[in-house]
Amino acid sequence: MPFIETKDRTSIHFTDWGGADRRPIVFTHAWGVHKGMWDYLLPEFLDAGYRCIAYDRRGHGRSDIAELRCDLDTLADDLAELLESLDLRDVLLVGHSLGGAEAVRYLTRHGSGRVAGLVLSAPSAPMLAQAPGNPNGIPPEVVGAMRQFVRTDIGAMLDSWQVEDFFGTARPISAALADSVRRQMVDTPVPVMLATFETNMGVDLTAELPGIELPTLIIQGDADINNPLELTGRRCAELIPHASLTVLPGAGHGLYLGEADAYADAIGSFAALLPGRHRSAAVFAG
């Protein structure tokens, strides 16, 4: 299994499918889960001619964690070390939820020299928590209740999820597949879940988003109750200079599975128009 070792001696696990002559897509996953969230999308992108790299955030999946450092700068630095270790160029960077915030911080911290385009999928950006500059954010009492669930019994919170609310209704999701997403969260170490929860809820990228000069696709469902569209994706589209927003009607936070066909089509069409030295990949027929 391929790993890289970061400067603080954390082993980051990744998978790398496709050839070096293809445009690389690097996938960063959501809070609490691991790179397995992308598994059912990868064949679509591989068939369309892309190289697909997905990795486990430190402390998640098969990645270890040398010390409990899960601030956004550290997570962005891990992404930078992965791109540098593999010497990736002309990357399409796809980040979902917290992974979207990581992608933004990577670009503002490390620059866009290796990246051709950005996809923010239901992003945890500009910010989630209620604050003077974000009056419609998640109230402190709700954040506190969620924190308590993560600390004591995240299963109780997951039991309250409705499959249709999270994934949407366009594509039926089996109980086994929905359970596998829950299992990823239950299996992530509690200290890591708490640390990344604080990172996710503490994000404020409002001042960073206008500095992103890359072509950017924001894709989100209008029924997302985790990261509501008007709070996150819509505001990102207003703040990023070269952003386009694709809204999938009726889709929830798990649109990468619940709206997999439309989701892959939108990203594939966006990717096919990006400049770069890699041979062109196909636009999805959809």
- How many other CB atoms are there within 10 angstroms of residue 9's CB atom? 9
Give the model's pLDDT for residue 285: 47
Catalytic pick from 56, 77, 224, 265?
Answer: 224
219, 271 contact by CB (below 8 A) = no
Q: Is 224 a catalytic residue?
A: yes
Stretch 39-53: mean pLDDT:
97
Residues 104, 110, 115: CA angle, nearest 5 degrees? 70
pLDDT value at 71 more than 80: yes
Burial pattern 168-202, b for ≥16 Cβ within 10 A else e, equals: bebeebeeeebeebbebbeebeeebbbbbbebbbe
Domain ranges of the chain: 3-272
Give the model's pLDDT for residue 282: 54
Pairwise CA distance, residues 117 & 177, whole Å: 30
26, 119 contact by CB (below 8 A) = no
Pairwise CA distance, residues 129 & 265, whole Å: 31
253, 173 contact by CB (below 8 A) = no
HSE (side-chain half, CA atoms, 13 Å) at 197:
19
Q: Is 204 a catalytic residue?
A: no
Which CATH number is 3-272 given? Answer: 3.40.50.1820
Reported pTM: 0.95
Q: Is 253 a catalytic residue?
A: yes
Catalytic pick from 77, 253, 265, 278?
Answer: 253
Catalytic pick from 97, 121, 124, 265?
Answer: 97
pLDDT value at 199 more than 70: yes
Give the model's pLDDT for residue 161: 81
Pairwise CA distance, residues 180 & 142, whole Å: 26
* Position with higher pLDDT, 171 vs 21: 21
As given in the structure block, the two tokens for residue 206 are 């409002």
Beta strands in the chain (DSSP E): 3-5, 11-17, 24-28, 51-55, 91-96, 115-121, 216-221, 243-248
Find the helix packing angle between 98-110 and 72-85, rounded to 10°. 70
Burial pattern 96-109, b for ≥16 Cβ within 10 A else e, equals: bbbbbbbbbbbbbe
Tens digits of per-residue pLDDT, 134-162?
A: 999 999 999 999 999 999 999 998 888 88
Stretch 62-81: mean pLDDT:
95
On average, the pLDDT of the chain sits at 94
pLDDT value at 278 more than 70: no
Give the model's pLDDT for residue 276: 79
